[in-house]
Amino acid sequence: MVFILPLLGLPELNIGNNLPSVVSSSFSSGLAATGFGLLVGTIATSHDQASLFGAVFVIILAAIGGIWVPTFVMPEVMKKIAVISPLNWGLEAFYGIFLRNFGFKEIFPEVAKLLLFFGASLGGSYLYQKYKRLK
């Protein structure tokens, strides 16, 4: 991005001294997505079911999480709903890093939520798999 954006006439991506924050946000976002994928894959009984449910649920989370419409434009009710979306947590962490020059201390709450979501998804996958084996 440092080299590609200027070729498109855009300003260079400058992360400054926030590389640990970018890595932690990226890693926690990746883990949250992986946990969600494992949960969907564990619950679904077919490939088609998993791909349909996963795609639809991610679109819903993106819509309420501020990916499509920024949260500052949303009505107050939607702003309150947006905070339950893991996509919002990741987006807010990256906004903090790139737009507000936040360090790890400031983005820690979002990173922690993403890691907790990963743990909950992984735990849910394990419990559901255990439940399925008992049947």
Q: How far apart are CA 135 and CA 130, in angstroms?
A: 9
Q: What is the pLDDT of residues 47-76, one digit of tens each?
A: 999 999 999 999 999 999 999 989 989 999
In a domain, 3, yes or no: no
Q: Which of 81, 102, 84 is nearest to 93 (CA)?
A: 102
Q: How far apart are CA 91 and CA 86, in angstroms?
A: 9
> What is the tally of structural domains in the chain?
1
In a domain, 7, yes or no: no
DSSP 8-state secondary structure symbol assigned to residue 45: S
In a domain, 2, yes or no: no
Q: How far apart are CA 82 and CA 67, in angstroms?
A: 10
This prediction has a pTM of 0.88
In a domain, 44, yes or no: yes
Q: Which of 15, 19, 57, 18 is nearest to 36 (CA)?
A: 57
In a domain, 92, yes or no: yes
Q: For the CA atoms of 82, 83, 89, 95, what is the dihedral angle to 10 degrees? A: 70
In a domain, 8, yes or no: no
Q: Is the pLDDT of residue 2 over 70?
A: no
CB atoms under 10 Å from CB of 81, counted, come to 15
Confidence of residue 1 (pLDDT cuts 50, 70, 90): low
Domain coverage including residue 57: 20-134
